[in-house]
Amino acid sequence: MKKEEKQNEIKMAEPIAISNTPAEIDFSNIEIKQGDCFINSYRVAKKYPQVEIVEGLIIAIDIENGAKPMPHVWNKLGDIHFDVTKEKVWTGREELNETKDIKYFSVKFHSHTDFKNGDIFEFCFDTNENVEAIKEVINKKQK
């Protein structure tokens, strides 16, 4: 949905718990890169068709800089949400040592068949609006 299009009601993001990748999902031979959360999740879902792609947002809670919401994509198998980008790229990175916690909120679910190789992924209206709403709340509390 284009940004200029308006909806009557925004779908609220739902908090979820993130787990380690289930044992039956082997992503060791899948290229996982920083800044490519959608592609990372798409590659996992394409290799394992029973895995869904989850669109939503994370709130990174940083000791020095407070909380920062940002759109993000991860995967889901059954009731288990997991984030291969976090596991393979973020874990152990020195610049993330100050991150105290990451909270996940789901907005929309996709199948890998919703996309083709080379598709450019754009976050939906609801995801973007949830990020902006949380930014506003955080900014008000900091004043």
Domain boundaries, the chain: 14-142
Q: Is the dihedral of CA 113, 111, 34, 66 positive or negative?
A: positive
Q: What's the token pair of residue 64?
A: 């020095």
DSSP 29-67: TS---TT-HHHHHHHHHHHSTTPEEEEEEEEEEETTTEE
pLDDT given for residue 138 in this prediction: 86
pLDDT given for residue 1 in this prediction: 37
Could you tell me the end-to-end alpha-carbon distance of the chain, in angstroms, rounded to an integer? 33
The parts of the chain modelled with pLDDT lower than 70 are 1-8, 92-99, 142-143
